[in-house]
């Protein structure tokens, strides 16, 4: 994967000092340019190779004053950045063992107008390729250029799939003096660029209900901790469980995995509760925590199938997941009917039987067309028409909510069919109407369940 080191070179007058990385014991190297210290570090540590590229974005004035060699008022030669890098390669990088990457200077305007800022934007975009790894030095950027560059890099992270390896800032103003050499720290600002990813993840979740990016970023944060502790860091393990449950819930929701979704939401809520203390390890996640927790906080034990699925359905309608919402609502009504009538809601034969009751109840018994269900593997009858007839009659005679459920089912099915058939074979409605009707039908269903809360079978798994 190609690697680029990108830096803006400013017009200021820079003083010599030795830049250092926190907790690193490198030999002091005195230079006027933080870029030299950064490139030295990256080359010696193997993070930049001769096949990579160094890009300096310079205005005409900055190139003349600081990139090329210059003279002071009395004629003394002032070595510019170009000369400093040549000295670095010749004296420090041990010719034959280390070599500098290719160096390229790119002219840019000063950024004094909106038009010039767009020129700089285009220059950055044109000089970064798909999947590049990027190290970016923010130290000597002029005026608004650091902010612009950060925004552009975040844009490229999404559009060109680049990897932002590090963002560096040489804090000359935080310098200290040791013997006769001034030392200045180099700060790693990458976590604040990572914050942009968290911003995107937060936006995905709040607007669309997508939990996958939150899961991915949580995993990215805790993996180094788990590796260093060999899986023994308690907080990291708790957050790892949270990451996995966010991922599982998101994926099962996207494929509308009804049998698993009610368990997923309980597990997610449980892991959210268990992560309250550990989440402080990831500050961007900590501030999002309440928003993540809110939609799921009423989730009940895994056995509360219907109630938990209704929470997911409401979540779908609140986040524009209309097709998932109507599919789950339609199927959850069947689940409810199966459970309250003592049928195994997981087995297709019982779900199809209960679903058929809504149509059969409108016909005389003489017109019921029930057929033996045959197991395709064993070729044996798995559900005879006599058994079906008995079950249908029992449901019709004992299910006091059948008429209400039938009315609900008819409205839900019409909208679900319109969605599932892309409105080609059914009359659909507008986006906002789908959401309004979905929430309204779900509320009716919830009210009916609430009125029958004394029915012990509802919400219990039947084996």
> Mean pLDDT by 10-residue block, N- to C-terminus, for the chain (463 residues)?
91 87 72 94 92 95 92 84 92 78 94 90 95 93 74 91 93 66 85 85 92 93 88 90 96 96 93 88 83 87 89 97 97 96 94 94 91 89 92 91 94 94 83 97 95 55 37
Kindly state the tokens that stand for 109: 């305007």
Q: What are phi and psi of 21, to 5 degrees?
A: -95, 145
Q: Is 447 exposed, middle or buried (0-12, 13-18, 19+ CB in 10 A)?
A: exposed
Q: For CA atoms 153, 157, 162, 168, give the dihedral sign.
A: positive
> According to the model, what pLDDT value does residue 23 have?
57
Element (H, E) at 106: strand 102-107
3-state DSSP of 194-236: HHHHHHHHHHHHHHHCCCHHHHHHHHHHHHHHHHHCCCCCHHH
The alpha carbon of 47 is separated from its chain's Cα centroid by a whole number of angstroms, namely: 27
> According to the model, what pLDDT value does residue 462 have?
39
Closest CA to 108 of 34, 32, 11: 11
pLDDT tens-digit readout, 335-385? 999 999 999 999 999 999 999 999 999 999 889 999 999 988 898 999 999
Q: Enumerate domains of the chain plus CATH numbers.
A: 3-188 (3.40.50.10640), 218-451 (no CATH)
Sequence-ordered list of residues with C-beta below 8 angstroms from that of 8, at least 6 positions apart, any chain: 56, 57, 58, 108, 137, 138, 140, 141, 142, 145, 146, 149
> According to the model, what pLDDT value does residue 86 have?
92
Closest CA to 295 of 271, 276, 313, 320: 313
Global model pTM greater than 0.85: no
């Amino acid at each position: 994967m190609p690697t680029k080191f990108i830096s803006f070179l400013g017009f200021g007058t820079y003083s010599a000092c030795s830049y250092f990385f926190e907790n690193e014991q490198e030999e002091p190297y005195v230079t006027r340019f933080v870029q030299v210290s950064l490139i030295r570090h990256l080359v010696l540590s193997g993070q930049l190779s001769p096949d990579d590229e160094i890009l300096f974005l310079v205005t005409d004035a900055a190139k003349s004053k600081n990139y090329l060699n210059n003279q002071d008022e009395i004629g003394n030669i002032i070595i510019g950045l170009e000369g400093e890098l040549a000295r670095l390669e010749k004296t420090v990088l041990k010719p034959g063992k280390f070599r500098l990457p290719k160096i390229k200077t790119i002219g840019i305007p000063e950024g004094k107008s909106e038009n010039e800022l767009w020129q700089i934007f285009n220059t950055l975009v044109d000089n970064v390729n798909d999947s590049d790894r990027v190290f970016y030095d923010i130290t000597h950027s002029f005026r608004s250029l650091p902010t612009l560059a950060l925004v552009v890099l975040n844009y490229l992270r999404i559009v060109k799939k680049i990897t932002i390896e590090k963002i560096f800032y040489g804090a000359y103003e935080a310098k200290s003096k040791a013997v006769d050499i001034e030392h200045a720290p180099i700060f790693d600002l990458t976590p604040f660029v990572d914050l942009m990813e968290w911003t995107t993840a937060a936006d995905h979740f709040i607007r669309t209900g997508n939990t996958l990016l939150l899961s991915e970023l949580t995993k990215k944060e805790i993996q180094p901790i788990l590796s260093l502790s060999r899986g023994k860091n308690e907080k990291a393990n708790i957050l790892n469980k949270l990451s996995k449950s966010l991922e599982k819930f998101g994926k099962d929701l996207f494929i509308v995995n009804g049998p698993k979704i009610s368990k997923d939401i309980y597990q997610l809520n449980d892991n959210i509760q268990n992560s309250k203390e550990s989440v402080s390890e990831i500050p961007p996640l900590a501030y999002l925590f309440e928003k993540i927790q809110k939609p799921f906080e009423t989730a009940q034990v895994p056995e509360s199938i219907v109630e938990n699925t209704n929470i997911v359905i409401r979540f779908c309608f609140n986040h524009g997941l209309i097709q998932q919402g109507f599919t789950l609502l339609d199927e959850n009504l069947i689940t409810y009917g199966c459970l309250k009538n003592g049928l195994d809601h997981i087995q297709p034969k019982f779900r199809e039987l209960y679903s058929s009751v809504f149509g059969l109840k409108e016909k005389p018994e003489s017109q019921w067309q029930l057929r033996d269900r045959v197991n395709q593997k064993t070729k044996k009858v798995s559900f005879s028409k006599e058994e079906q007839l008995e079950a249908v009659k029992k449901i019709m005679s004992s299910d006091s909510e059948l008429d209400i459920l039938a009315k609900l089912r008819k409205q839900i099915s019409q909208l679900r069919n319109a969605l599932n058939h892309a409105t080609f074979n059914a009359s659909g409605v507008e986006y906002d109407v789908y959401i309004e009707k979905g929430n309204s039908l779900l509320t009716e269903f919830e009210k009916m369940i609430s009125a029958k809360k004394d029915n012990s079978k509802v919400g219990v798994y039947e084996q």
